[in-house]
Amino acid sequence: MQAPRTQAVALRASGRSEVEPRVEPMVVGDASAGFAGLGLTEWLQRAVAEAGYQTPTPIQGKAIPHVLTGQDLLGCAQTGTGKTAAFALPILQRLSLGPTRGRVRALVLAPTRELAAQIGASFERYAGSSNLRTLVVFGGVGKHDQVKALARGVEILVATPGRLLDLVQDGSADLAGVEAFVLDEADRMLDMGFIRDVKRIASFLPTRRQTLMFSATMPEPIEKLAGTILRSPARVAVDPISSTCEPISQSIFFVEKPEKTKLLVRLLRTDSMDRVLIFTRTKHGANRLVRELDAAGFGAAAIHGNKSQSARVRALDDFKTGRIRIVVATDIAARGIDIKDLSHVVNFELPNEPESYVHRIGRTGRAGRSGVAISFCAHEERPYAKAIERLTRRSFVEAAMPRHDSRAHDSRAHAPARARLSS
């Protein structure tokens, strides 16, 4: 079969510029009646039951009824809230009602390869018995297989912006049939410099379409972008970025830079730290820490932008299957990674943007489970800690240093005390 050739050159900009998002009256679904109460059809109810979901999460309860009506949506929610299913389920339902096969009917843009892969896996999992096909495309790997898969025909395309533009421009991807467009993690797209690409991609989409945009924060450029790509969107919000989740225990160690690795090693020797995601600010810092942990006898892997796609996938697989219990990541690489059952998130270095702290610790204590977030704060990082306290409106609880011998890892080792950042 011939590859569907794009009519990119013939397509015009969507002409949606400067449409102010207007807040529409709420469509009320009954989340207490489970997924059925939200209007999801039977085969999708079966799919969520098979995924083990019993009740909709708040973002699902709020978003699904809107998306099912075909309305545009601006969702303020971060990863870990169940937002993927909040858009994937109603989109699948709407697509299954239409007859067209073999062309891209839903397009999801995600900022990172990992997030794109996860979204693709979710669509595939929920699509189950339907004949809707999903393809994930991202950069850093060869284009050939992606071009071939596009030529075979897919209905759902999940992509990172750069590679998608490439595929559109060389005629391999045709977006003229897109009925539903999802822009996920819009604020991270902005941080990563993808907004121009996103706008360009939007210009290849039909004007008549449904657009859903999700972002954990709503900085001004994102509000503006919403104004240009959304039409009269419903707005739904869960977990505002300034409130960190309550089930997560958050503590801080005031520890100077040269002592951080030693402290980490001592903490890792405690039994309870069995699945740990550690954040560093830089890629070099992540590599160095992995080497130091290795030397101390802890198998760890780094995930960051300089790692090849196969190295990242291997690291994630090893972590998910329990072959390694420690992953060291930078903010951008970790963004959106869905790793279940994390026992601890460790901020080996505090982020200079307080919002990143909320994203980081959002990886533990997910879906109602409790988690532990530990932060290491050197003298020069104290302003970052203060900024985090201001944003989250919570004071850190200072943890007591574990003693050197293993017997010291009793309850007193983490005895809480109010951190005094102002002193």
Contacting positions for ligand AMP (CB under 6 A) = 53, 56-57, 60, 79-85, 338, 340, 366-367
Considering beta carbons, is residue 53 or 279 the nearer one to ligand AMP? 53
Considering beta carbons, is residue 360 or 414 the nearer one to ligand AMP? 360
Considering beta carbons, is residue 56 or 365 the nearer one to ligand AMP? 56
Exposure on the CB side of residue 295, measured as CA atoms within 13 A: 9
d(CA 302, CA 280): 10
207's CB contacts (< 8 A; 6+ apart) are 14, 15, 16
d(CA 309, CA 330): 15
Tell the smallest beta-carbon distance from residue 44 to ligand AMP (Å): 12
Considering beta carbons, is residue 82 or 120 the nearer one to ligand AMP? 82
Instruction: Tell me how far CA of residue 121 lies from CA of 2, 125, 221, in angstroms.
Output: 27, 6, 30
Place of tokens 């980081």: 360
What H or E segment, with its residue span, contains residue 249?
Answer: strand 248-254
Exposure on the CB side of residue 42, measured as CA atoms within 13 A: 0
Tell the smallest beta-carbon distance from residue 337 to ligand AMP (Å): 9
Considering beta carbons, is residue 29 or 56 the nearer one to ligand AMP? 56
Instruction: Tell me how far CA of residue 204 lies from CA of 9, 11, 16, 165, 200, in angstroms.
Output: 9, 6, 12, 10, 7
Tell the smallest beta-carbon distance from residue 334 to ligand AMP (Å): 13
Spatial contact of 84 and 118, defined as CB atoms under 8 Å apart: yes
Instruction: Tell me how far CA of residue 263 lies from CA of 181, 245, 294, 404, in angstroms.
Output: 46, 26, 15, 9
Tell the smallest beta-carbon distance from residue 66 to ligand AMP (Å): 17
Tell the smallest beta-carbon distance from residue 60 to ligand AMP (Å): 6
Considering beta carbons, is residue 149 or 313 the nearer one to ligand AMP? 313
Tell the smallest beta-carbon distance from residue 364 to ligand AMP (Å): 12
Tell the smallest beta-carbon distance from residue 83 to ligand AMP (Å): 5
Considering beta carbons, is residue 82 or 371 the nearer one to ligand AMP? 82
